[in-house]
Amino acid sequence: MFRSDTDLLESLTAELSQQLKDYEDQALVEMIRPNLTSQFVQHAPELTKFHEAITQNDSMDDRDLLRIFREFVPTTNYEPYRPFIAKFFATPCKEADVKNMFAPGLPYFFAMSSMTSGKSVKTFPRYRPPSHLLQNPLYLALPPSEGTTLSPASMRYSQILTIDCEDGQSKQVTICSLSIGFLRMAMNWDAEHDNERLDLWLPGQTDPYAISLVKSYRAFFVLNALFALADRRVTTIRFFFANVFVIFLQYIEDEWSLLIDCIEKGIIPDVENLGHLRAPLEKLFKPNPDRAAELREIGPPGIQGWAVCVWPHLERFLGITGGPAATAVSKLAHVLGPSIRTQATGYGSSEGSMALPYHQTNPNTDYKVMFVDVLTEFLDVHSNESPERVLSIHELVTGGHYEPILTTRNGLWRYRIGDVVTVKGFAPDDGLPVISYLHRREGGIVMAFGTTCTESQLTTAIVSAANRWIGQIIDFTIVGDDRDTPITYGYLVEIGGEIGKEARMAIQQTFEELMAANDEFRTAFWQGRARKPTIRLLEKGTFAGYRQQKCNKTNVSISQVKVPVVLSDPTFREWFLQQVVIEL
């Protein structure tokens, strides 16, 4: 049971407010001073006034630097950084052309972003942080655990960039997901020598290194399931998104007999595209008839608390259960049972890590802002000021809705990430704000009636209705349904198990939830400019197939693929519509 939000401060005392000002000033100076001589600061048009101000101030102390930053650094998006990042992709790429581009030296890897839209992938340089920060929870790709951790990790990368160094050597820089980049950084695992580590186990993990290199989506999950089921010492389950764990369970259920037979005999199943990875996996996987017999007695996923029966030492589940992943909450609770605590891994993005779970309230949805990887400022999304005024953490108000703005160690300057968060209150010990993610600022479909229900409103409506009337949601997305006028929200939903006998009632409940949540939608409906949403059910395995296609298309880590609440890619829209089996 989580403690209530009443444990938080509703407002800051004068003492805590001053403490936060000092903390922010110190963190900001620490992050930006090393980057003042970067190529981006010297040459980006957006920072011209800032650069002129700092070069004209010969004896600039910290107070001067802070004043100049707040006066002359505007908010930015990805476009100003794009031409500077493009220099790393030049052939050949010379060290002199890219050294100190955003921060001192050369980046360790590039993190990939924008996996939910049809837009081009964004890449962000990530430099090795100061050594004393590498053990901070915000940088830990493998969380500490007393036992074994089930946390499927794909070492796949999109591309390797080669930088020709001035000493005649070359440096390879991997483009990959943020979590894999952190893992490679922590372990000093370069991609060039991946094949020399095939006989290793990932430290404290159920899976060997070889599985992390498997390219086939299905083979990756089947093999992770095989090694995880064979290991009864699991104490922690960690999936970046909880709904990916639900898909993992689907593979276990579908392949149950095969998996148990393989555990009994100590064989690697005949899955596709293993190639040279099969031999090291066969070497590491041993027959375990006793474990196979134990698992046969338990049976495939189905009973409440199944995970605890399979892994009797299981203590916690780490993963995002908010936003679109909220569809997995009921299934997750059923499979884990009441004794297993759940929490998010943190709040952040490829651009930077902003906050850690706040355990004094609800660690699944509440995050405490930290200035470790980034300095976070905020824009009030309901403000009418133009331009929008950037707010410091001591200026936030409980209940307010804000867009985080990031200044990072890696050379982003007041970067807008497009999220909307709400402030739940302030931690009583140090005054730091506790926030919860709401939705994307520009998310949703703008309907003919000129308004948009937010991602969180659209998600809450279908999750609540489906749990009552349809069945267990595996995943969903939304397209604009223009088969009738006016256009409306067209839910495309995959469920597990049987469809509820009164499933059509979900349309009315979803509609009522949206009417109650969004004033503009309600007004538009009564004026005849909006209509009820539609719900169509998809073939089983549709979202697994979507993730596999995204992996193959972009060559990214399986853990990086997110399903958008609102689908904008026209190619995938048509593909999803072809998977429809029932309309409610």
DSSP string, 469-504: II-EEEEEEEEEE-SSSS-EEEEEEEEESPPPTTTT
Lowest mean per-residue pLDDT among 79-83, 136-140, 222-226: 136-140
Cα angle for residues 464, 481, 483 (degrees, 5° grid): 135
Mean pLDDT value of segment 366-390: 89
Lowest mean per-residue pLDDT among 107-121, 372-386, 453-467, 560-574: 107-121
Mean pLDDT value of segment 360-368: 88
Lowest mean per-residue pLDDT among 89-93, 95-99, 127-131, 156-160: 156-160
The pLDDT of residue 269: 94
- Per the model's pLDDT, the better-predicted residue between 448 and 265 turns out to be 265
pLDDT category, 327, cuts 50, 70, 90? confident
The pLDDT of residue 280: 93
Lowest mean per-residue pLDDT among 321-325, 409-413, 472-476: 321-325
For the cut 90, the answer to whether the pLDDT of residue 583 exceeds it is yes
**Residue 246 structure tokens:** 């639900």
Lowest mean per-residue pLDDT among 247-251, 440-444, 470-474: 440-444
CA dihedral in degrees (376, 382, 387, 389; nearest 10)?
Answer: -40
- Name the maximum alpha-carbon separation found in the chain: 76
For the cut 90, the answer to whether the pLDDT of residue 336 exceeds it is yes
The pLDDT of residue 127: 95
For the cut 80, the answer to whether the pLDDT of residue 528 exceeds it is no
For the cut 60, the answer to whether the pLDDT of residue 240 exceeds it is yes
Tally of CB atoms within 10 A around 428: 12
> Scanning the structure block, which residue is given the tokens 């309907």?
447
Q: Identify the CA nearest to 203 among candidates 145, 132, 122.
A: 145
- Phi/psi for 397 (5° steps) reads -125, 135
Q: Which helix (H) or strand (E) holds 348?
A: strand 347-349
pLDDT category, 131, cuts 50, 70, 90? confident
Q: How far is CA 188 from CA 112, 268, 430, in A?
A: 19, 29, 35
Instruction: Write the pLDDT tens digit of every residue in 391-445.
Output: 999 999 999 999 999 999 999 999 999 889 999 999 999 999 999 988 777 755 5
Q: Which helix (H) or strand (E) holds 52?
A: helix 48-55
The pLDDT of residue 189: 87
Q: How many residues does the chain have?
A: 584
**Residue 318 structure tokens:** 């780490």
Most confident of 5-19, 222-236, 318-332, 543-557: 222-236
Mean pLDDT value of segment 199-211: 88
- Per the model's pLDDT, the better-predicted residue between 99 and 541 turns out to be 99
How far, in Å, CA of 409 to CA of 93, rounded?
Answer: 23
The pLDDT of residue 451: 58
Return the percentage of the chain with pLDDT > 90, whole number.
54
Cis preceding-peptide flag for 570 (omega within 30 of 0)? no
pLDDT category, 1, cuts 50, 70, 90? very low
CA-derived radius of gyration, the chain:
25
The pLDDT of residue 447: 57
- The residues, any chain, with a CB within 8 Å of residue 308's CB and separated by 6 or more, are 314, 336, 337, 339, 340
Handedness of CA 379, 380, 381, 384 (dihedral sign): negative
> Scanning the structure block, which residue is given the tokens 């790429």?
93
- The residues, any chain, with a CB within 8 Å of residue 307's CB and separated by 6 or more, are 237, 314, 335, 336, 337, 340
DSSP class of 466? I
Lowest mean per-residue pLDDT among 16-30, 348-362, 457-471, 558-572: 558-572
For the cut 60, the answer to whether the pLDDT of residue 27 exceeds it is yes
Q: How far is CA 582 from CA 466, 470, 571, in A?
A: 14, 12, 21
Instruction: Please name the amino acid found at residue 153.
Output: A
How far, in Å, CA of 558 to CA of 565, rounded?
Answer: 18
pLDDT category, 34, cuts 50, 70, 90? very high
The pLDDT of residue 560: 64
The pLDDT of residue 441: 76
For the cut 90, the answer to whether the pLDDT of residue 521 exceeds it is no
For the cut 70, the answer to whether the pLDDT of residue 44 exceeds it is yes
CA atoms within 13 A on the CB side of 488: 23
For the cut 60, the answer to whether the pLDDT of residue 496 exceeds it is yes
Mean pLDDT value of segment 4-18: 85
Tally of CB atoms within 10 A around 146: 11
Mean pLDDT value of segment 192-204: 86
